[in-house]
Structure 1
């Protein structure tokens, strides 16, 4: 890529301004207007491109010559999860004309490797789990002077995710009564909270949803300190950080955050209902946020007096994700004993 073209790529946004759609079906469930911020239509399939794209652009401006990113891979019954972080890094690197190496655990399907290679990335397979792949990525970054792309743990990542709230402000004008999102490592949560502060909406309650077995944020909130889960046992593998960001826990002292946990069966049921209602198929990780609506949790928070009994509107961040198709959804439902 010529210098002038590379410079232009470093200035433009790699994410798209995603639709904010009013959902009649979800509004009927809650009894108030529900808006969907559809991050599932991002060019890489998830919100990750906001933060990772911004990070990659900023380090490219400073002369980064090679990007490396460890991404998660989760084998399942019939399909294979595609690391959302790795796809975002590979996409951004291609746009910037910068080489990228994506490190994935061994056992990653050829389909995933080819998809990443189709973005121009080199793929390395190391270790059995993300933690081991990440050690390899960090080693490459130190040894060769490459820039390591964290899936969620960097201020530039959070800064990129804050763009989502600026779009909400432009679309809505007035603040919603509550905002619902899923929490994995905490990057989206921190970015959204930063965005709320930037637009003067820091009073908006945020309902932070996790599935049991991938609930590192809730565990930290309950303990009052960071907690490392022994393992990720939830089917919502894209939420599979064992320890949440320290910054995410700090934010509980600065913002009104409700940390809530749903069962896998509720998250997967929400995925199916959302598919039926809105004709959009999302990961169980996203189903955790949708379950706040479908499971009645939002109404329970209101009945308990923790949320205002009357909310002007609710925004649900539909975070998207690549690790799902119709066969995978059926396999998950069978695993959880759903018809």
Structure 2
């Protein structure tokens, strides 16, 4: 049995009204760990466990670490997660709640990642948060579920951090014969490594991540994700942090579901009927989830952002 669950795919009346077209939601926020990460992380952990690995080591800004910790607990394998200082206290608490060892190190994810790599022993498996073919294979399963439901979307909207979800969704579209379905890649300004890479025609690294959407805080997308933008119809769109937070608040009111700003970036495109959606009649938004933010934090962010 996989560690992830099959999630609902529902038509959203509030979002459809806002966008003037049918908006469908793939509710990955309902995964046991709170985000889509469990699909790929779960597959990778199960694979490594079958290969005899005795400890999982991961670096994460939050949600991937929570997914690894959850998978380790379910599989009975110890987990060590290294997070940067920017990781929220809530995310840290959720990782500890899964009985994982938590190490806080560095100002940014790449520093936490370097320490995690240095901890690896012969019997350990490293779980990368976004750059691993096993992850992409696992994430692709969400497209399989949509196909099985009978819905072929006119476009898929998803948030991009390191590019793992994007790479997985493109893999899923391809294996279901949907290579013609465009993907709209949403990012917040200040965490827009993919948008800047596409604008410059090469994979670039941000000097710093300044967005509050820390789950999108990879300074550079993985090579696979950037390569796929040259092979698969892809549109890039960025939104402000305030737009992402506002989308989270509206989504909470509309659907009684709390997600974090990284997910709000995708929802913001639908609420605004963004031009990147093109002329698609049925738009699928991957509600990637994220449990590192609280309703109180959303309110605090709104106050801070309005004052800027």
Where does 1:139-158 land on structure 2 (aligned, <5 Å)?
139-141=118-120, 143-158=121-136
TM-score normalised per structure 2 = 0.95
- Once structures 1 and 2 are overlaid, which stretch shifts more, 208-217 or 101-110? 101-110
| Among candidates 23, 35, 47, match of residue 34 of structure 1 | 23
| Bigger radius of gyration among the two | 1
CA distance in 2, matches of 1:189, 1:113: 25
Which residue is 1:215 aligned to?
A: 192
Deviations 1:297-316 (A, max 9, x none): 1xx346xxxx33xx331110
Give the Å deviation of 1:106.
5.0
| Among candidates 179, 202, 218, match of residue 179 of structure 2 | 202
Instruction: Give every structure 1 segment of 4 or more consecutive aligned residues whose post-TM-superposition deviation is greater than 3 Å.
Output: 105-115
Which residue is 1:225 aligned to?
A: 202
CA distance in 1, matches of 2:270, 2:238: 13
Which residue is 2:77 aligned to?
A: 98
The answer as to whether partners of 1:181 and 1:317 remain within 8 angstroms in 2 is yes
Structure 2: which 5+ runs fail to align? none
SS of the counterpart of 1:123?
strand
CA distance in 1, matches of 2:45, 2:33: 15
Which residue is 1:78 aligned to?
A: none
Which residue is 2:221 aligned to?
A: 244
CA distance in 2, matches of 1:30, 1:53: 34
CA distance in 1, matches of 2:94, 2:83: 13
Deviations 1:91-133 (A, max 9, x none): 1111111111112235867765553233221222333332222
Distance 1:199 1:111, change over 3 A: closer
SS of the counterpart of 2:187?
strand
SS of the counterpart of 1:337?
helix
Give the Å deviation of 1:51.
0.7
| Among candidates 100, 107, 110, match of residue 131 of structure 1 | 110
Structure 1: which 5+ runs fail to align? 1-11, 73-82
TM-score normalised per structure 1 = 0.86
CA distance in 2, matches of 1:327, 1:114: 16
| Among candidates 139, 150, 154, match of residue 177 of structure 1 | 154
CA distance in 2, matches of 1:204, 1:53: 27
The reply to whether residue 336 of structure 1 matches residue 305 of structure 2 is yes
CA distance in 2, matches of 1:227, 1:105: 21
Quote the RMSD (CA, aligned, Å).
1.7
Give the Å deviation of 1:144.
5.0
| Among candidates 312, 317, 324, match of residue 281 of structure 2 | 312
CA distance in 1, matches of 2:256, 2:138: 28
Which residue is 1:44 aligned to?
A: 33
The answer as to whether partners of 1:266 and 1:295 remain within 8 angstroms in 2 is no
Deviations 1:36-89 (A, max 9, x none): 1101111001100011111111111111111101122xxxxxxxxxx1111100
